[in-house]
């Protein structure tokens, strides 16, 4: 009997991921129709995803890019309240209402995009739920997947949570202004990211001080353009 239960569980997980894939296709179609691109920001709680958006969005807006945000958190509107200062359209997903799931699936992203349908947006950021594990499992339909890791988290995290580093094209190392005080080994962290994903592009920034934000902004603009061309 035990074995049977095990098989059923496996089947359920497969079904959920299959269904998610189908919905991600719908997300992509919706983005294509509106000529929008989407970037999925993932990373552990406190790595600085919101702080990064606070710094980055005004920079991108000054380049005449119209930005929108899909915010995911288990509880509180805290991050959306911070970002609303930037005067961008935001759809907030409280996963508390969906069983407190620790990631955003394509189903809720699709719902958020429907809410934002009539907003003026070229580029949409998803701030995923703070978590290094299952957001990597769920395709949100975003064209770009990015992981944020701060120097305070420990250099071995890419080795401990390889999947998220494997599935992202960019790793943003945040809080480089704290390298000295916490005694972080930046080279080892980069080495470990490359061990898991040799083709990962790495940016070293401080969202707080604004250090090194320029190359990241340039990359995002470029990637936004590429993603628009790719689908033509």
Instruction: Provide the minimum distance between the beta carbon of 41 and Mg ion in the complex, in angstroms, as a whole number.
Output: 9
Phi and psi based region of residue 71 (left: phi greater than 0; alpha: psi -120 to 50; beta: remaining) = beta
Tell me if 161 contacts Zn ion by CB under 5 A.
no
Which of residues 74, 79, 91, 192 is near Mg ion by CB under 5 A? 79
What residue 50 binds from Mg ion, Zn ion, none (CB within 5 to 8 A, per partner kind)? Mg ion
Using the contact rule CB under 5 A, the part of the chain among 15-23, 72-80, 135-143, 170-178 near Mg ion is 72-80
Instruction: Provide the minimum distance between the beta carbon of 165 and Mg ion in the complex, in angstroms, as a whole number.
Output: 19
Are the C-beta atoms of residues 125 and 60 closer than 8 Å to each other?
A: no
Using the contact rule CB under 5 A, the part of the chain among 50-58, 199-207, 209-217, 220-228 near Mg ion is 50-58
Query: In terms of CB distance, is 207 or 227 closer to Mg ion?
Result: 207
Instruction: Provide the minimum distance between the beta carbon of 51 and Mg ion in the complex, in angstroms, as a whole number.
Output: 8
Task: Give 52's contacts (C-beta < 8 A, 6+ positions apart).
Answer: 41, 148, 172, 174, 205, 207
Are the C-beta atoms of residues 74 and 134 closer than 8 Å to each other?
A: no
Q: What would you measure as the largest C-alpha separation in the chain, in angstroms?
A: 62
Which of residues 103, 157, 175, 223 is near Zn ion by CB under 5 A? 103
What residue 37 binds from Zn ion, Mg ion, none (CB within 5 to 8 A, per partner kind)? none
Please give the helix or strand (H or E) that residue 1 lies within, else none: none
Cα 71 from Cα 90, distance rounded (Å): 7
Show the tokens assigned to 40.
């999925």
Which of residues 28, 49, 55, 157 is near Mg ion by CB under 5 A? 49
Are the C-beta atoms of residues 157 and 164 closer than 8 Å to each other?
A: no
Tell me if 55 contacts Mg ion by CB under 5 A.
no
CA angle 129, 120, 125 (to 5 degrees): 20
Which of residues 16, 59, 102, 159 is near Zn ion by CB under 5 A? 102
Are the C-beta atoms of residues 185 and 215 closer than 8 Å to each other?
A: no
Query: In terms of CB distance, is 131 or 197 closer to Mg ion?
Result: 131
Please give the helix or strand (H or E) that residue 18 lies within, else none: helix 2-33
Residue in the structure block whose two tokens are 């907030």:
92
Tell me if 174 contacts Mg ion by CB under 5 A.
no
Q: Which residues of the chain form contacts with Mg ion (CB under 5 A)?
A: 49-50, 79
Q: Which stretches of the chain bind Zn ion, using CB under 5 A? A: 102-103, 134
């Amino acid at each position: 009997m035990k074995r049977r239960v095990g098989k059923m569980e496996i089947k359920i997980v497969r079904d959920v991921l299959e269904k998610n894939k189908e919905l991600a296709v719908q997300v992509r179609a919706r983005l294509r129709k509106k000529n929008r691109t989407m970037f999925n920001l993932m990373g552990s709680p406190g790595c600085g995803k919101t702080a990064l958006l606070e710094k980055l969005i005004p920079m991108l807006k000054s380049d005449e890019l119209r930005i929108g945000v899909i915010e995911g958190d288990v509880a509180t509107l805290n991050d959306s309240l911070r970002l609303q200062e930037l005067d961008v359209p935001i759809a907030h997903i409280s996963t508390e209402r969906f069983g407190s799931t620790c990631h955003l699936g394509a189903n809720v992203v699709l719902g958020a995009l429907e809410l934002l349908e009539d907003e003026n947006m070229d580029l949409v950021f998803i701030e995923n739920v703070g978590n290094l594990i299952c957001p990597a499992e769920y395709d949100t339909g975003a064209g770009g997947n990015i992981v944020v890791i701060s120097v305070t988290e420990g250099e071995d995290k890419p080795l401990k949570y390889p999947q998220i580093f494997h599935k992202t094209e960019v790793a943003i190392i945040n809080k480089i202004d704290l390298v000295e005080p916490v005694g972080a080994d930046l080279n080892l962290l980069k080495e470990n990211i490359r061990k898991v994903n040799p083709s990962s592009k790495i940016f070293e920034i401080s969202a707080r001080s604004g250090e090194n934000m320029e190359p990241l902004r340039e990359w995002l603009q470029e990637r936004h353009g590429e993603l628009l061309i790719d689908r033509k």
